Chains A and B, each alone.
Chain A
Amino acid sequence: MRPKENIEKFVRVRKPHVTTSRQMDKRTLNDSFAAMEQTIRAKPADHKPSAPRIVTLSRMMKLTAAAAAIIVGISFYIARQGPSEQGITTKFLEVAESPSEIMTMKSLTIAYRRDGIEGIENQCEKALKILGPQPASISLGDLFNGSKS
């Protein structure tokens, strides 16, 4: 028998090794999936557990998501519209990469596989040219003035 000083070690090393049965796994997973679906269904359509929904759990994350969504939203909108005053969007749309694909993990991984770190940099350059950070024809100053009028 172990000396009493080793009691903690004795308990620790004799941790029981129990394994679940196949029936238990099946029952638990089926019921869990059902519970999961029920929760998802119970939420209104706009509250489906999509990324935006989850991200908005905190106020700050809500703002982060809003800002990100607006950047992407504006960029996509501008990229998909016809020619702007400067004709910039037309020029950008001629670039071969698709706006929805250009900065995905897939495209970036492929870019890296092809050209190393320069591939990633080139992809970032192309993304900025296609999607752009904001429309060229409007500044934040214009926005505030516009909103006051």
Chain B
Amino acid sequence: MIKLALSIIMRDVSLSLRHGSATTMVVGFFIIVVSMFPFAIGPEQNILQRISVGVIWVAALLSCLLSLDRMFQTDYEDGSLDQFVLSPVPLELVVVAKSIAHWLTTSLPLIVIAPILGIMMNLPNEGFLPLIYTMLIGTPALSFIGGIGASLTVTLRRGGVLLSLLILPLYIPVLIFGVLAVKASIGGYDATSHYLLLLGFTLFSAAIAPWAAAAAIRSGLE
């Protein structure tokens, strides 16, 4: 089982590496969205400092969304998705593996680049590690919940907009707990409860996503 999941993850990651462009575009989008804010808000350091965490998190959500619609779409277009459904591998496992691959190719690069954006947004020193921690804990939920959205819209021609409409409201808890945890750490408060709630939401999304997404794919292919 785990071997099969690993080979699906390896396949998706290597496909994305060969394509290359997808990950680079997402990271580029992430940087550009964040750097729009100083133009909109003004370059005052203290204001940027106050909004930095929120802006980085929102930009991360949007960047994640950008690559979601390709999660099952390419497999649907070339017929691989049909074969996954017919193969002895449980579709739920395929969903989990593909969500993990999506996280590796989208969220992980965002987490690597986030500290640089933190510097640009004048994030206080105490905020850097918590930002990385919260992103590490919280972004898997984005891929899992996103996997549900991607599977719901896989057979639609213009599923991208619908996907955003469906998924963004479900991302609100990640945003709330992720930002609160970093802000609490910056303010010197105890952030444990925020971290735990964030982790709880990630685990919850990992638990429901495989079933919901697999059901959606089966219905969608009909």
- Asked if A pairs with B, the answer is no
A residues sitting closer than 8 Å to B (CB atoms) are: none
B residues sitting closer than 8 Å to A (CB atoms) are: none
